[in-house]
Amino acid sequence: MTGELSPIDKAKFVAARRAADFVEDGMKVGLGTGSTAAWLVRCLGEMVREDGLRFRGVPTSTRTAELAREVGIEVISLDEAKWLDLTIDGADEFDAELNLIKGGGGALLQEKIVATASDQMIVIADAAKEVARLGAFPLPVEVIPFGWQTSQALIEELLISMDVMGRNSSLRMNGDAPFVTDEGNHILDLHLGRIGDARQLAMILNQVPGVVENGLFVDICDKVVIGYADGRVETRDINEGTVTEDRLDFVESENLFRDL
């Protein structure tokens, strides 16, 4: 089965497989959203079914919740969990300080709430997600539908004084209609090119009326697990200042790959 995967999917798979080892019996775990996080959910589901792993998952989107239930993971809400031992999620970009851009999948609000309600956040990614400076990936900003054009104009005005390369933004669409998040909001994608001060920009964006949250995750991620197509996995711990490397063998599993 794994021979049919693209190199990038192999990289995502080994990162997810390695990160799944951080989940222990009895934990309450935030489950991210997106293609890499979906690999994690499948891996954890296999561990539940075949190894007897018992933990409770708090999904960051309706589609993650559906997949988690499908593979046999016990799903609870964040209100039920109150606090999490660990959140594992993907990222659209990460830098050397493990600051992130997230929200390409449209779930940034729940992702940020869940990640900040955790003792630890681990990001799983392929090597292409690492950048010297954030900003090449469009920065998602979740806004309420009422007056979204006003919020957009205010955002573009404040960007004039920010250390960014571009100031254009666009309303994310789903076909002919605006994309709608799980909370019923819209997303503006900011095409910045380069972000000079992610911390400052994150704080200022959230002061704009109508902005619910932005996709800059600053000082939230503790570890990043980077997968490579040849099975190599690199784990960086920002708190310990350590980098470890190992290699995972691809394991055939009809259960894990049946949906591909």
Pick out the residues of the known binding site for substrate: 33-36, 89-92, 102-105, 129
Is 142 among the residues known to form the active site?
no
CA distance 74 to 42: 13
Number of H helices, E strands in the chain: 8, 17
Contact present, 256 and 71 (Cβ < 8 Å): no
| Count of CB atoms situated within 10 Å of the CB of 58 | 25
Contact present, 195 and 139 (Cβ < 8 Å): yes
Q: Which residues contribute to the annotated binding site?
A: 33-36, 89-92, 102-105, 129
Q: Which of 46, 93, 111, 142 is catalytic?
A: 111
- Where are any strands of DSSP class E within 144-207? 168-171, 173-174, 177-178, 186-191
By annotation, the residues acting in catalysis are 111
